[in-house]
Amino acid sequence: MSPPAGEPGRRPTIKIVAWDDSQLCQLTPPKLSAMSHDVFGFGAEVARRLLTVLKGGTPATGPVATPVLTPRESTAPPARTT
């Protein structure tokens, strides 16, 4: 008996976490767990620090926002089959 359609490609993706959350992460089977980033906030902070440097100042140092894990099916336990 042959495996169900898509099974050979599904097995290697059971424990995948995408680095950047996108709509594709929610649409692909299995739905991919992903790291969510505040892209706009990160860009704004980079711009502030760059403007400080361009004005001859010393940019602030410190941490940026921490990415957040959005767990989905790709990191869930396998579904039980009967």
3-state helix, strand, coil in the chain (%, to 5): 40, 10, 50
Q: Quote the distance between the C-alpha of residue 18 and its chain's center.
A: 4
Q: Quote the distance between the C-alpha of residue 28 and its chain's center.
A: 14
pLDDT tens-digit readout, 4-56: 666 665 555 556 778 788 888 888 888 889 988 888 888 899 999 999 999 99
What integer pLDDT is reported at residue 12 of this predicted model?
59
Task: Check residue 28 and report its DSSP letter.
Answer: S
pLDDT at 77 over 80: no
Q: What is the mean pLDDT of residues 55-80?
A: 84
pTM value? 0.52
Rounded Cα gap, residues 45 and 30, in angstroms: 34
